[in-house]
Structure 1
Amino acid sequence: MAGLAAIEIAQKVSKVWRSLQAEWRNAKKGTLKSGKRARRRDRINLPSQNRGGAGCSTSSSSETSASYIIAEDRLSGRGRISWQDIYSVAVKWRQISEPCDPVVWVNKLSEEFNAGFGSHTPMILGQAKVVRYYPNYERTLDVAKTIIKEKAYVRSKTDGIIDLSKDGKLEEIMNAKSCSDLYKAVGEDFWLATGCNSTALEGKQLEGTRITHGYDFAIRTPCTPARWEDFDEEMQAAWENLCNTFCGENYGSTDFGVLEKMRDAILRITYYWYNFMPLSRGTAAVGFVVLLGLLLAANMEFTGSIPKGLQVDWEAILNFHPNSFTDSVKSWLYPSLNVSTSWKEYPDVMSTLSTTASVVAALSHCDDQTA
């Protein structure tokens, strides 16, 4: 599933970037009329230095061809593509490959969305350790203690403020060796929210995930309309930054050093996706598939594997800034990246597998030689 989904994403994104780069090139050469700016306000903004028109003496056949590409892409809607259009490709593949899983966008749940539907991921249930997520327990406990020390309060299960600044509570919390010790220090069920620093709006902090403690010790990510709006804006800014980073002077580069800013831009949007958690299920898988697809579109192929015991989404959730997330991931991700353009020779996935039946057939195919 991941391979075909990543290739389809790379193919779709490369068409968008080709259109934007052609526009950037024409704008730099001064072949676009300044009046066209107003008609593209909803488009991703690239540097514009218009100095002429289509009929000026500097026009050439290559520029005419580029203009045709722009017109073609505008008609097909490629120029207005959003971050959600890209992630929806991976969502589609996740839905088909695991039909029993309710993989849907949270904002499509109507009443649940307005009520603040949230994903719930326990590390400890009662006395039982959840095998899949328990490896993140110690780190989550440390993050919780750090936030409590800074804010000196937590929220009750009814969202009231529990003041922890008196009676030596903070010292007791800092000395807690387990979530049970932490619960005893607070004295009742509680939750606290991690911070997620915005790069779209300097100084703004988004609500990341909530660390909750009652019967279980877990993380819960609410998706309210207000929070959705904040992260939608952040994701769009990260997507535009990604496009602007690639669709300029270094467009199509296969120089690994030149592509460093591109790698960082891809990890930035991945960081906000994981903190956003906009799906009812499958956010982790979808996020990593899109990461692979964006890297492919930028001529980089991931040939390694995720280190044992590491979960990429948790790396994002437990870091308060995208730069910290990038630093924690690139140590194993970047050495496993190879410059590659071989994927450009593959048939178009969307047109080749145009029906759900054809996708299921492709996912069900088994090569006897490798079985």
Structure 2
Amino acid sequence: MQRTWSNSKVRVNGKTRQLQWRDMFDIAVKWRRIADPDQPVLWLDQMPARSLSRGFNNHINLIRGQIINIRYLEYFSSILSFVKERILVYHGAYNPRGLQDVKQALEDVNKVEDLLPIMKFNSKTRDGFTVNSKVPSLKDPGKEYDGFTITITGDRVGNMLFSVETQTTDERTQQYQSEIEALYKDLTAKGKALMLSTELGVRLTSVCLSVSVLL
């Protein structure tokens, strides 16, 4: 990152240009392709237009039956906390009389499987439920983007499905890329300012040491 902030240039096909956020992501993409060649990593906006016009769904099973997707295990607690919050909002709006019982039941929920009994509190969620997430914009405060959909179904431990799905369209892709571009520019500007302040601090320290030696 220090090299990027001090000299943010990249050479592509014999030509030098300013380093962009996609160049940074390409480093991770290349590593990902080498680390797991069975899982393709693609730029969505470089896919055929007909594919994007219909939408592109990315479905990931986190728990299916007795199989747990270890790759995403560290995200389980964050997703669980979010789902618990949305359950309270749902019951507060559609089941206010049973809200207190739901609150007490959620206090004992420490893992996704613990949500299965709570699904029975309402006939509409008895067979499962979905939760849609929103992502707040840092570029345009107050604006939100569609996140992913969380789905939990099943009737007992060992026979449940816990999954997330992203429904991507060309418009959604452009929104997120615009957000990333703004964040990257802000990060680069702050990084360059930090580099300059650090260099200035080092120079001032050197000058002070030189003066001290002379004195």
Match of 1:92 in 2: 30
Q: CA deviation at 1:77?
A: 4.9
TM-score by length of 2: 0.65
Whole-angstrom CA distance in 1 between matches of 2:99 and 2:174: 34
Whole-angstrom CA distance in 2 between matches of 1:182 and 1:244: 48
Q: CA deviation at 1:244?
A: 1.1
Whole-angstrom CA distance in 1 between matches of 2:139 and 2:115: 35
- In structure 2, the gaps of 5 or more residues are 154-159, 202-215
Match of 1:165 in 2: 94
Whole-angstrom CA distance in 1 between matches of 2:97 and 2:51: 40
Contact 2:6 2:195 in 1 (8 A): no
Aligned residue pair count: 181
Match of 1:103 in 2: 41
Contact 2:119 2:126 in 1 (8 A): yes
Q: CA deviation at 1:166?
A: 3.1
Match of 1:194 in 2: 133
The within-5 A match list for 1:269-288 is: none
Structure (1 or 2) with the larger CA radius of gyration: 2
Match of 1:16 in 2: 8
Whole-angstrom CA distance in 1 between matches of 2:102 and 2:16: 54
Q: Does 1:242 align with 2:178?
A: no
* SS of 1:201 mapped into structure 2: coil
Match of 2:84 in 1: 145
Match of 1:203 in 2: 142
Contact 1:141 1:179 in 2 (8 A): no
The within-5 A match list for 1:286-297 is: none
Give the root-mean-square deviation of aligned CA atoms: 3.7
Counterpart of 2:115 (choices 147, 156, 179) is 179
Q: CA deviation at 1:181?
A: 2.1
Q: CA deviation at 1:173?
A: 4.1
Whole-angstrom CA distance in 2 between matches of 1:10 and 1:119: 36
TM-score by length of 1: 0.41
Q: CA deviation at 1:138?
A: 4.6
The within-5 A match list for 1:289-328 is: none
* SS of 1:120 mapped into structure 2: strand
Q: Does 1:231 align with 2:176?
A: yes
Whole-angstrom CA distance in 1 between matches of 2:76 and 2:61: 11
Whole-angstrom CA distance in 2 between matches of 1:254 and 1:142: 43
Whole-angstrom CA distance in 1 between matches of 2:135 and 2:98: 26
Q: CA deviation at 1:117?
A: 1.6
Pick closer, same or farther for the CA change 1:103–1:129 going to 2, 3 Å. same
Whole-angstrom CA distance in 2 between matches of 1:112 and 1:181: 40
Instruction: Letter of the 2:119 partner, please give it.
Output: Y
Whole-angstrom CA distance in 2 between matches of 1:218 and 1:169: 27
Whole-angstrom CA distance in 1 between matches of 2:27 and 2:175: 22
Match of 1:218 in 2: 163
State percent identity of aligned pairs.
Answer: 20
- In structure 1, the gaps of 5 or more residues are 1-8, 20-71, 154-162, 257-371
Match of 1:116 in 2: 56
Instruction: Letter of the 2:185 partner, please give it.
Output: E
Instruction: Letter of the 1:146 partner, please give it.
Output: E
Q: CA deviation at 1:245?
A: 0.8
Cα shift readout 1:163-191 (whole Å, capped 9, x = no counterpart) = 95136454454324312124323223332
Instruction: Letter of the 2:30 partner, please give it.
Output: K
